[in-house]
Amino acid sequence: MDNLINKLALYLSSSSVTTVLTGAGMSVESGIPDFRSKSGWWRKIDPRTVATIEALETNYDLFHEFYCARIRGFQECYPHKGHHLLAEWEQTGLIQAIATQNVDGFHLVAGSKNVSELHGSIRNFRCNGCGSPANKADFLSKHTCVNCGGKLRPNIVLFGEMLPEQAWDTTLRNIQMSDLVIIIGTSLEVYPVNELPSMTNGKTVLINKDLLDSYHQFDLIIQGNAKEVLEKTDEIMRAK
C-alpha cells in the first residue's frame, strides 16, 4: 500500500485544485455504520420503507423511528483523525473543497469550511409541508409543525428528491476545475453523485475499503480504511 500512498502524495503536491468527495465509509471509523457493507443499514432495512418521500408520507411512524435511531447513533460519535486532517489540508491549501454524501456534519465539525453537503444534514430539521425550520427536540418528540401541523423531518435528501441546488452547482464547478479528485468511502451506487468522478479532467483517486464495480476508471485505487490512508498520506506529505 505504501507505494500507492506515495503516488497519492505526489498527485497531491502537484495539484493546484483538489476536491475530496466522501461517502459513508468516511465516517465508519467514527462508529457510524455505512449503508451497503455487511453491517450497513440497507442490509437490515429496505431503504424504500424509510428513505423515500413515499415512506415519509405513508408510513411516518417507521420513518420517524428510523431517523430517531440514526440521530441517537450519532450522539456518541465524533469526527476522527481523517476528518481533522482534511480540515488541516484545506487550511494549508493542499485541498480546496469537500463534497460529501454524509449527513452527519462531521467535516464541518472537524473544521473544514468549503463543504457541500449533497445529501443535506441530519443536524437541521424542517416541516415537510410548509418548509418552516423546526428543532431537533420537536422532531424527536414527534411534534407536528407549529405553523401548519405538517410532519417534521430532518433536512436530508430522500430518494426521489432533488439535491440541494447550491451544493450541487458548487460541487460541479469544483470538480470541473480540479486537477485531482479524491473519492473516499463510497460505493458510488447512488445517482447523481456517482457521475461526479467522470466529470473531471483531473486525476481521480479512490480510497475505499472494498473494491467497486464502478464503471469509472480511476487513475489510482487504494484499498484501505479512510483514516489509516489519510494518516499515512499526511505523514508522507509532512516529510516532503
Helices 2-14 and 226-239 pack at an angle, to 10 degrees, of 60
- Nearest to ligand OAD of 98, 226 (CB atom): 226
If binding is defined by CB under 6 A, does position 125 make contact with ligand OAD? no
208, 222, 230, 232: which one contacts ligand OAD (CB under 6 A)?
A: 208
Q: Which amino acid is at 55?
A: A
- Nearest to ligand OAD of 36, 216 (CB atom): 36
Angstrom distance (rounded) from CA 170 to CA 232: 29
Hey, which residues are catalytic here? 119
State the Cα angle at 205 between 11 and 2, rounded to 5°: 70
Residues 6+ apart with CB under 8 A from 84: 110, 111
* Footprint (CB under 6 A) of ligand OAD, residues 47-106: 47, 51, 101
29, 90, 117, 234: which one contacts ligand OAD (CB under 6 A)?
A: 29
119, 126, 153, 232: which one contacts ligand OAD (CB under 6 A)?
A: 119
36, 81, 136, 216: which one contacts ligand OAD (CB under 6 A)?
A: 36
With CB under 6 A as the rule, give the number of residues binding ligand OAD: 26
Q: Choose the stretch contacting ligand OAD; rule: CB under 6 A; options: 8-16, 125-133, 184-192, 198-206.
A: 184-192
Q: What value does the CA radius of gyration of the chain take, rounded to a whole number of Å?
A: 18
Q: In this chain, which residue has its C-beta nearest to ligand OAD?
A: 25
88, 105, 150, 159: which one contacts ligand OAD (CB under 6 A)?
A: 159
State whether residue 175 is helix, strand or coil. Answer: helix
Angstrom distance (rounded) from CA 39 to CA 47: 14
- Enclosing H/E stretch for 140: helix 136-140
If binding is defined by CB under 6 A, does position 150 make contact with ligand OAD? no
Q: How many residues does the chain have?
A: 240
C-alpha cell of residue 129: 409541508
Enumerate the β-bridge partners of residue 19: 97, 181
Q: Choose the stretch contacting ligand OAD; rule: CB under 6 A; options: 7-15, 90-98, 143-151, 182-190.
A: 182-190
If binding is defined by CB under 6 A, does position 225 make contact with ligand OAD? yes
171, 174, 187, 214: which one contacts ligand OAD (CB under 6 A)?
A: 187
Residue whose grid cell is 457521475 = 195
Short-list 171, 173, 166, CA closest to 183: 171
226, 232, 233, 234: which one contacts ligand OAD (CB under 6 A)?
A: 226
Enumerate the β-bridge partners of residue 204: 181
Q: Which residues bind ligand OAD (CB under 6 A)?
A: 23-25, 28-29, 34-37, 40, 47, 51, 101, 119, 157, 159, 185-187, 189-190, 208-210, 225-226
